[in-house]
Structure 1
Amino acid sequence: MKAKVLSAIGKMAWVASLAALPMSAGAASPADAQDYPNRAVRIVVPFAAGGATDLFGRLIASELTGTLKQQFIVENKPGGGGNIGSNQVAKSSADGYTLLFGAAGNIAVNPSLFSNMPYSPSKDLAPVALMGSSMNVLVVPSSLPVKSVQELIELAKAKPGELNYGSSGNGGTTHLSGELFNSMAQTRIVHVPYQGSGPAMVDLLAARVQMMFDNLPSSSPHIQRGELRALGVTGAKRSALLPDVPTIAESGLPGFEATTWFGLFAPAGTPPAVIEKINAAVNQAMAKPAIIERLRQLGTDAATGTPASFAELVAKDTAKWAKVIKDANIVMN
């Protein structure tokens, strides 16, 4: 079954509608923003408690509670790759009192990955505020005879189908980064999915798989001990955590970029003035040095922007991952 792909018309309509937010905010009732919030606000995190996404969600909930003088309460609704909690928010009242802590996976990837999506991110959710982005690092065992991305590509082409890359599971960024790499480098490196990044790392350290796109905080200790060799980071620029490691784009594969981002979403139809008020409070929080440093420790770069610019990012990544998923014939049910 072919993965579903958002239509170009749908993406354009979404971006256009969000781009109009600053202009239309004045048309909304002033009470929408002045009175908001006058009671507790739920932030649904569609992933299990305790992970980096949950920690980020609780961090912004605490900041918004302090800034907007009402309780912002995190509720974890895991399951379905983030679809269960996201669908709940998509079906909620569009009044600003139920928000979604979204990530690239459940918003930009899932529409093409799942054949039975219960909601449409582009139709049922409105981007509110970008909060951060994170990149992975391409690592290989120190015993593998390659010291750059270009050398890895050359080895993979010399041994098509013989090299393997591990991932934390089907459909995640560690998987899709590998498929994007294969597509752009025209290599045939075989995907080996694991139930989490921990088991994948065990096999990588034992050289049972030859490469992995892992998150920076978990790989850094192995890189520092010389157990793994970092060939490149997946972002558009180098990471402050590994400043001496080049980007994959500058180390042999121009144009490569595979990052995940995090941000708040509201049900479609939420008053623009309310969205603007939340956006301003989030931007204020993300500019605090203490928040920037806390996120850096989690391997995430704090980010700010308008609802419209966030919508453009979501649309761009939705189209990007749709192509990767379709070309690799990846489908989740």
Structure 2
Amino acid sequence: MTTTFKRRHALFTLAGALALGAVAALPAAHAQQQAAWPTKPIKVVVNFPPGGAADTIARAISQPLQDALGQPVLIENRGGANGNIGGENVARAAPDGYTLLMSSGGMVSVNPHLYPKMSFDPVKDLVPVAAAARVLVYLVTRPSLPPQDVKAFIAYAKERPGKLSYGSPGTGSSPHLAGEMFKSQAGLYAVHVPYRGAAPALQDLLAGQIDFCFDPGIGLNQVKAGKLRLLAVGSPRRSPQFPDVPTLDEVGLKGFDADTVFGFYAPAGTPAPIVARLNTEINKILATPVVKERIANLGGEALPGTPGAFHDRAMADSARFGAIIQERKILAE
């Protein structure tokens, strides 16, 4: 072996050793980077406009989450297409834990039935992080309508097919599907008026432009003030806030369940330790009295749990809501 060859061999061996060392250091550096997370602000995309249930829940959790993580947690509203615009924005984001989504469960459980050619797959392109709340829907009417209870209201609507109108946050939203379930099981016809969010639908109900809606909780203060009439709860069990108000199941619409679960998602590929940390912190926040109260003021219930349980609930809801979408031939607008 010549001296030149020996030198080249030594240099090659040294270079190879350095390269192997660098490769071996990559997982350790990646793990260290995850352990240091977060080191900059976190953005929470809310895929519905301000003032609705998703926005209210996100803002209730964002401040204590910011305190727990030691970094700003910023809310960005990206409404449209029943949550798809904000959902796609997060699905396309870097999976580094700095972009999250707050959404109703409908984006995962409903939208694939409404939009056969979605630009992303919410089940594959997003990972569940933490459920936040079970949101009930409440059948509310403008108080100038004569019926004082839900049975009288059903009879009144049946006598006036197509004369009454109801609003929703948009086609395929849980309040819209609740309205379609109601029409199907009660055997009546009313005109659906979709809005870009629950807040504008509520405003038109208060103004008398529409006759009723299935409210996701943001109108309950108006109920308490006597500006709206609460007739029934679209949930399998009564609301703790209104224990004297019957469920639709109790008045004869058997099995009526329009509840939906709101929660946080992250881009697929987000490191498991980051997802676990977020889940732990959000569950702690959901157990605090102040956040439980804010969710209760929406007529909902805080719902801590694992990412797996959140996913399982979404899949069960997909089967339930998919059936009514197919039955009623509901199409995205």
1-side partners of 2:143 and 2:78: how far apart? 40
SS of 2:83 mapped into structure 1: helix
SS at 2:275 equivalent: helix
* Residue 265 of structure 2 is aligned to residue 265 of structure 1: yes
Q: Secondary structure at the match of 1:293?
A: helix
**SS of equivalent to 1:250:** coil
The alpha carbon displacement at 1:200 in A equals 3.4
Cα distance in 2 for residues equivalent to 1:194 and 1:89: 25
Q: Which has the higher contact order (CA 8 A, sep 6+)?
A: 1
Paired position in structure 1 for 2:208: 203
Q: In 1, Cα distance between the equivalents of 2:32 and 2:174?
A: 41
Which residue of 1 is the match for residue 73 of structure 2?
72
Matches within 5 A, 1:264-303: 264-303=264-303
Map 1:137-152 → 2, pairs under 5 A: 137-140=138-141, 148-150=149-151, 152=153
Is this contact kept in 2: 1:165–1:189, CA < 8 A? no
Shift of 1:326: 1.8
Q: Distance in 1 between matches of 2:256 and 2:304?
A: 23
Structure number with larger C-alpha Rg? 2
CA distance 1:294–1:142, change in 2 (3 Å): closer
Does residue 193 (structure 1) correspond to residue 193 (structure 2)? The answer is: yes
**In the aligned structure 1, how far is the partner of 2:194 from the partner of 2:103?**
24
Note if contact 1:216-1:241 (Cα within 8 Å) is conserved in structure 2.
Answer: no
Superposition pairs of residues 1-333 of structure 1, within 5 angstroms? 31=32, 34-140=35-141, 148-150=149-151, 152-153=153-154, 159=159, 161=161, 164-168=164-168, 169-185=170-186, 187-193=187-193, 195=195, 196-197=200-201, 198-203=203-208, 209=211, 211-222=212-223, 225=226, 229-333=229-333
- Which residue pairs with 1:25 in the alignment? none
| TM-score normalised to structure 2 length | 0.78
Q: Distance in 1 between matches of 2:50 and 2:192?
A: 26
Query: Hey, what's the Cα distance between the residues in 2 that align with 1:89 and 1:107?
Result: 13
- Quickly say closer, same or farther: Cα 1:251–1:33, change in 2 above 3 A: farther
* Structure 2: distance between partners of 1:97 and 1:141: 43
SS in structure 2 opposite 1:319? Answer: helix
Q: Does the Cα contact within 8 Å between 1:131 and 1:303 map onto a contact in 2?
A: yes
Q: Is the 8 A contact 1:180 1:324 kept in 2?
A: yes
SS of residue paired to 1:66: helix
Preserved contact between residue 138 and residue 215 of structure 2 (Cα < 8 Å): yes
Aligned CA distance change for structure 1 residues 281 and 73 (closer, same or farther; 3 Å): same
Q: Is the 8 A contact 2:92 2:267 kept in 1?
A: yes
Q: Is the deviation greater in 190-199 or in 118-127?
A: 190-199
The Cα shift of 1:126 comes to 0.8
Answer yes or no: is the 8 Å Cα contact 1:90–1:266 preserved in 2.
Answer: yes
Residues 74, 224 of structure 1: CA spacing in aligned structure 2 closer, same or farther, 3 A cutoff?
A: closer
CA contact (8 A) 2:53 2:218 kept: no
User: Where does structure 2 lack aligned partners over 5 or more consecutive residues?
Assistant: 1-29
Render the CA deviation track for 1:242-283: whole Å, top value 9, x for unaligned. 221122222322211112332110111222222111100000
Q: Secondary structure at the match of 1:255?
A: coil
Identity between Structure 1 and Structure 2 (%): 35
Mapped partners of 1:154, 1:160: distance in 2: 9
Which range moves more in the overlay, 319-328 or 211-220? 211-220
Residues 70-123 of structure 1 deviation map (CA, whole Å, 9 limit, x = unaligned): 232222223333212210111122222211111123332222223442111111
What CA deviation, in whole Å up to 9, does each residue of 1:31-89 have, x standing for no partner? 57533323332211223345443232233222222112223222222333321221011
- Counting matched residue pairs gives 298
SS of aligned partner of 1:251 = coil
Q: Which amino acid aligns with 1:161?
A: P
Alpha-carbon spacing, 1:294–1:143, altered in 2? closer, same or farther (3 Å): closer
Contact 2:49 2:78 in 1 (8 A): yes
Instruction: Give the equivalent residue in structure 2 for 1:23.
Output: none
Please report how far the alpha carbon of residue 202 of structure 1 lies from its aligned counterpart in structure 2 after TM superposition.
3.1
- 329 and 33 in structure 1: CA distance in 2 versus 1, 3 angstrom threshold: same
Q: Which residue of 1 aligns with 2:3?
A: none
Counterparts of 1:191 and 1:223, CA distance in 2: 27
The question of whether the paired residues in 2 share the 8 Å contact of 1:129 and 1:310 is answered with yes
2: CA distance between counterparts of 1:53 and 1:64? 16
Question: Unmatched 5+ residue regions in structure 1?
Answer: 1-28
RMSD over aligned CA atoms reads: 2.8
Deviation readout 1:280-306 (Å, 9 max, x if unpaired)? 000000000111112222333221000
Q: Which whole-Å CA distance do the structure 2 matches of 1:62 and 1:222 have between them?
A: 28
Give the stretch that moved more between structures: 215-224 or 41-50.
215-224
Q: Give the Cα separation in 2 of the matches to 1:329 and 1:314.
A: 21
CA distance in 1, matches of 2:228, 2:80: 32
Q: 1:248 to 1:33 in 2, by over 3 A?
A: farther
